[in-house]
Chains A and B, each alone.
Chain A
Amino acid sequence: MTGRALTSNRLRIGVTVFVAAILALRAGTSVHADDTVSLSLVLKNHLFDPAEVHASPGKPIAIHVKNLNDIVSEFESSELHFEKIVPVGSEVTVYVHPLQPGRYNFYDDFHRATQGYLVVP
């Protein structure tokens, strides 16, 4: 009896922790959705337009990139933790966590000469 009670107690604690974790994750998401800074870029003639974008510090960022080159790109940044294929003519979005002030580099990993910066004052 005691053993079973103990097991069910453990189970209950486990489930509670799991549910709490999920709720915490969801709460994190909803906080982000409100004050996200949205930035739009275009890839054209192997250049980012604009080549430099700005965002306020401490706010989550969504970067939208549309590929108007005639060749596929990979939008990537090791500093900002993203890498995503951008098919010709498509637009993709990557999300960046709130940043400290700084100058962050991003690039087209398939054409490394194509570089851009995200500046956080």
Chain B
Amino acid sequence: MAATLVIVFREVFEAGLIVGIVMAVTSGVAGRGWWIAGGVVAGVLGAGLVALFTGALSELFGGSGQEVFNAAILGFAVIMLTWHNVWMARHGRELAAELKAAGEAVASGSKSLAALAIVVAIAVLREGSEVVLFLYGVAASQGGASWGMLMGGVIGLILGSLVCLMTYVGLITIPARYLFSVTSILIAFLAAGLAAQAIAFLQQADILTALDQTVWDTSWILSDSSYLGRALHTLVGYVDQPTAMQLIVYSATLTVMVVLMKLFSAPPAQRPRTA
């Protein structure tokens, strides 16, 4: 039971941080509950499918199927997060000013929600597929599901969901006028971290070999396998021994995000008036 609890908690905790942020980012947007719930459900179904086909997935791309798949969905999540931030830079103020009643704003508002729902689905899919594989493995090795395993799974799920709730509650206590800036920054670092993770997968598959030497080692301060290290890994992409390419891609993602947000930000003169 203990092993199941730990694994389930750890994976739900990692996905929960991202879901908590997305909930805070979208607080006050009409219909966001359905989008986020939809993302979670899609992620759980996807996790089941990925777990079911892990064997076949591994065989693809000359044995690098898992890495290519992970790098691809991480890259897609980075695009969705960038798109969201750029969209918010343009329309965030209108939303905040409750101007979303206008039909067009609602339509594009749900486009931004869809991007975030995809991010939620990807987070749940990645962590969830490990949970499914692990639970299936435990059940198979002991000839069926046991009460201990079930209890461990349920407690792990509840504790992990608490982390999600705490992230959300912690973020929405931030005054509304700062919340937008705080979540934009969080999303930018989240995207940069995911991009660096995608690079790690390409490096482990030997697809990307340039600049793969370790630049520094901070594992003596904070190991990225500790809980705090894992939380920071998920949130801002903390890695205790990053490679040069990871650092380059991390900074490049942040730079591109900031430049795009500046380029597309709403010019003050054309901002719609509330009256």
Contact = CB atoms under 8 A, between A and B. Distances in A.
Interface stretch (B18-26, B74-82, B101-109, B133-141): B133-141
A104 B8 CA distance: 27
A10 interface: no
B66 A85 contact: yes
A74 B63 CA distance: 15
A111 B10 CA distance: 13
A108 to B, nearest CB: 11
Nearest to A98: B213
B243 A78 contact: no
Interface in B181-228: 200, 203-206, 208-210, 212-214, 219, 223-225
A114 to B, nearest CB: 12
B137 A71 contact: yes
A29 interface: yes
A81 interface: yes
Nearest to B129: A85
A29 B200 contact: no
Given A24-B210, A110-B7, A85 B141 contact: no
B3 interface: yes
Contacts of B27: none
B204 A110 contact: no
A71 B149 CA distance: 15
B210 A95 contact: no
B265 interface: no
Contact of A97 (B3, B67, B130, B213): B213
B14 interface: no
Contacts of A78: 219, 223-225, 240-241
Interface stretch (A1-9, A11-19, A49-57, A86-94): A86-94
Interface in A27-46: 28-29, 31-32
Contacts of B206: 29, 32, 60, 62, 95
B137 A72 contact: yes
A34 to B, nearest CB: 12
Given A70-B140, A72-B136, A84-B67, A28 B55 contact: no
Interface of A: 24-25, 28-29, 31-32, 60, 62, 70-72, 74, 78-79, 81-85, 87-88, 90, 92-98, 110-111
